Each structure stands twice: as structure tokens, then as C-alpha cells.
Amino acid sequence: MKVRAKLNDVTIPLGNTGITFAISENVGDHAGSLRIGKASGEWRPGKTQDGNGHKFKLDELLAVIEEKFPK
């Protein structure tokens, strides 16, 4: 997977719409888009349009990450 964001020592305010990451497979094919907002997010696989993806709350995402990678 490729996620492009090289932001050393940069702060980006999320605002109302959040920030979207374009994620590609290793061969360059578009895998989907991940939008992270202040309290929620959305995974849009493939060419899924805004608002039609898999929505989640950030606390749900953090719970999954903590379960997968415990301290």
C-alpha cells in the first residue's frame, strides 16, 4: 500500500471536512480514500463517492487499533 503524506513538523487543522488520504496498492492501482475528521471518518474503497463509504467514529477506529496493536 502507498499512502503519500510527508509532513515533518507540519500541523494541518482538520476544519469541518477533515483531511483525505488517497491510498494506492503497491502496483499503483487506487485502493480507496480515507477521510479523517474531528470526530468521525469514512473509508471509501475503490471509486466510491463521498458519503457512500463505510463511516466510523474515531473512538471506534482507536479501539480497533488498540485491539490489533496493544501497548
pLDDT of 3 strictly over 60: no
**What are 15-49's pLDDT values in tens digits?**
788 888 889 888 878 899 999 988 899 999 999 99
Res 6: pLDDT: 64
pLDDT band of residue 11 (cuts 50, 70, 90) is: confident
Phi-psi region of 6 (alpha: psi -120 to 50; beta: other; left: phi over 0): beta
- Domain range enclosing 53: 2-68
β-sheet bridge partners, residue 2: 24
**How many domains is the chain partitioned into structurally?**
1
Instruction: Reduce the DSSP state of residue 40 to 3 states and report it.
Output: strand
Q: pTM of this prediction?
A: 0.76
pLDDT of 2 strictly over 60: no
